[in-house]
């Protein structure tokens, strides 16, 4: 019924993406071959072009093809090249995906960036959340009010001034630029504070009696109890920043080595012509898969995370 129709629409692009990552250019253009494509051997035109036999090759090759004239030798060499250059579309697409553009590098960047962002966010947010939830100090309410106010500000909105600032500091095209604006997660502070408020005061007093400094309390007492909320927040943060396109697009303009996965994909697209669609879809599949796999494995946590963050 309705749900099934919805499923079709929702899954259509995924289907297409994976399917095309498995097909040859010809199949793509003609729209045939079912989901997996027929996986016939195809010939990579670029590979062949690169290995076009020149004069010297023909001479060298004539030894191997006795009794043939130059044209014949050339044809034979071409046939060899073609044989060398033929492969199954799957292999073609995915290997091109990894070689035409440094996909591994991009994926690595994605990991580096999301991990850095998340770790710094925790380091900044946890102590602040603890202080706001459990410590009494003059101005606490004002600070919390400020936190609430900052919740209203989407970081993407202030991209422009941030960019100017970074440009002035000469920090564009660096990892720092990709990571720094996200280090303050007001949302994280808010979430953690709500969570910390439910931790019984006695636990903290006991730690104080044991001689722990407040900082130690944050890391040795509060952190372990907050694991579920942290997990939810981690999911939220990693997904958002892995998929983020806007900010890296602004900030990484020259240095391709710094491309995050979405940027890498975009660049791929800009580069290639229509016949490169297979590898592009392969790249897209590779970028999308890690998160989806993680999602399927940890579904419940994911959705808990979203709702926890949403319902306050």
User: What residues numbered 150-169 form the site for other proteins, per CB under 8 A?
Assistant: 150-165, 167
Q: Which residues, at least 6 apart from 134, have a Cβ–Cβ distance to it below 8 Å?
A: 196, 197, 199, 201, 204
Closer residue to other proteins, CB minimum distance, 227 or 293? 293
Span interacting with other proteins, options 40-48, 49-57, 76-84, 201-209, rule CB under 8 A:
201-209
Span interacting with other proteins, options 2-10, 34-42, 83-91, 226-234, rule CB under 8 A:
2-10
Span interacting with other proteins, options 24-32, 39-47, 62-70, 90-98, rule CB under 8 A:
24-32
Residue 125 binding other proteins, by CB under 8 A: yes
Residue 143 binding other proteins, by CB under 8 A: yes
Closer residue to other proteins, CB minimum distance, 83 or 297? 297
Residue 288 binding other proteins, by CB under 8 A: yes
Residue 31 binding other proteins, by CB under 8 A: yes
Cβ(35)–Cβ(14) below 8 Å: no
Closer residue to other proteins, CB minimum distance, 74 or 285? 285
Q: 64 to 103, contacts with other proteins by CB under 8 A?
A: none
Residue 210 binding other proteins, by CB under 8 A: no
Binding residue for other proteins (CB under 8 A) from 25, 37, 262, 279? 262
Task: Convert residues 235-254 into a mask of x (bound to other proteins by CB under 8 A) and - (unbound).
Answer: ----x--xx-xx--xx----
- The tokens for 199 are 């931790």
Give the Cα separation of 287 and 304 in Å (integer). Answer: 24
Q: How far is the CB of 246 from other proteins (least distance, A)?
A: 5
Span interacting with other proteins, options 52-60, 61-69, 94-102, 132-140, rule CB under 8 A:
132-140
């Amino acid at each position: 019924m309705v749900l099934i129709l919805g499923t079709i629409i929702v899954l259509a692009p995924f289907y297409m993406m994976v399917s095309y990552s498995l097909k040859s250019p010809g199949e793509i253009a003609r729209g045939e071959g079912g989901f997996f494509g027929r996986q016939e051997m195809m010939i990579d035109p670029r590979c062949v072009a690169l290995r076009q036999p020149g004069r010297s090759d023909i001479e060298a090759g004539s030894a191997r093809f006795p009794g043939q004239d130059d044209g014949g030798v050339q044809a034979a060499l071409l046939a060899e090249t073609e044989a060398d250059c033929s492969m199954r579309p799957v292999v073609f697409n995915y290997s091109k995906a990894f070689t035409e553009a440094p996909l591994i590098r991009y994926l690595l960047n994605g990991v580096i960036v999301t991990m850095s962002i998340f770790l710094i966010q925790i380091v900044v947010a946890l102590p602040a959340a603890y202080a706001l939830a459990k410590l009494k100090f003059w101005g606490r309410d004002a600070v919390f009010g400020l936190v609430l106010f900052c919740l209203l500000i989407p970081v993407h909105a202030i991209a422009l001034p941030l960019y100017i600032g970074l440009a002035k500091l000469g920090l564009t095209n660096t990892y720092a630029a990709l990571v720094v604006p996200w280090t303050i997660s007001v949302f994280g502070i808010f979430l953690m504070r709500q969570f910390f408020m439910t931790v019984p005061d006695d636990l903290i007093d006991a730690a104080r009696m044991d001689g722990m400094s407040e900082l130690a309390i944050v890391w040795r007492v509060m952190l372990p109890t907050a694991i579920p909320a942290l997990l939810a927040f981690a999911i939220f943060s990693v997904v958002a920043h892995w998929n983020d396109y806007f900010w890296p697009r602004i900030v990484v303009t020259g240095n391709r080595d710094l491309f995050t996965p979405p940027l890498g994909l975009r660049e791929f697209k800009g580069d290639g012509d229509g016949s490169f669609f297979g590898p592009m879809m392969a790249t897209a599949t590779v970028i999308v898969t890690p998160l989806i796999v993680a999602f399927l494995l940890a579904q419940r946590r994911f959705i808990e995370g979203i709702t926890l963050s949403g319902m306050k």
